[in-house]
Amino acid sequence: MRTSDLVLGIGLLGLAFGLSPAVSFDGKVVRLVVGDIARAVTRELNHKAIRAYRKRAMALNLDLRQPEIAKSTLFASSEPPFDPVREKAALDEIQKVKSNGPLEADLNKVKENWKKQYEENRKDNAYWARQLQQSVEMGSNPAAILTYEKKVDAITVTELKETANKYFGMKNFIQVILYPEK
């Protein structure tokens, strides 16, 4: 993000909260992405002021994003509706990845599949448009799109094991079983 964009963004946020304007953005294209904004804060914004400034700018997009929460979901459908054997098998598989990481052969199959999909995607203009838009939104270097295969090749069993241990902790485990109505 350029300094002028940041100053403009801070000025816009000041306006949204009812403060005096920091900079003029008449006739400019403004895209401000603000992360980790609690829902209570968005309720406090001066939406009337935002609409007024939206009219003055050539284009104004204020994207407020709530805090990201890491979560993983495992869905299993079985007959009968609840099968404890399948549940145990799924939890055992997670535990196996946490203990040993995935099998090297399985990881290589996934990597090859991702690279094959990447090669197909590279032929599609919509893919490039999405990647470029995402790099602008995230403030990342668009040239990183071309390093995808190197990033995939760099993934190791050890990294996946560490990641599984980080995100599949059982202290926040919730199990929900839905039974059909009788």
DSSP the chain: --HHHHHHHHHHHHHHTTPPPSS--TT-EEEEEE-S--HHHHHHS-HHHHHHHHHHSSEEEEEE-PPP----------SSS--HHHHHHHHHHHHHHHHH-S-HHHHHHHHHHHHHHHHHHTT-HHHHHHHHHHHHHHT--GGGGGGHHHHHHH--HHHHHHHHHHH--GGG-----PPPP-
- The per-residue pLDDT for range 68-90, each reduced to its tens digit, is 665 666 666 656 666 778 778 88
Most confident among 67-76, 122-131, 134-143, 163-172 (mean pLDDT): 122-131
Q: Domains in the chain and their CATH numbers?
A: 3-64 (no CATH), 84-172 (3.30.830.10)
Q: What's the confidence (pLDDT) of residue 99?
A: 94
- pTM equals 0.55
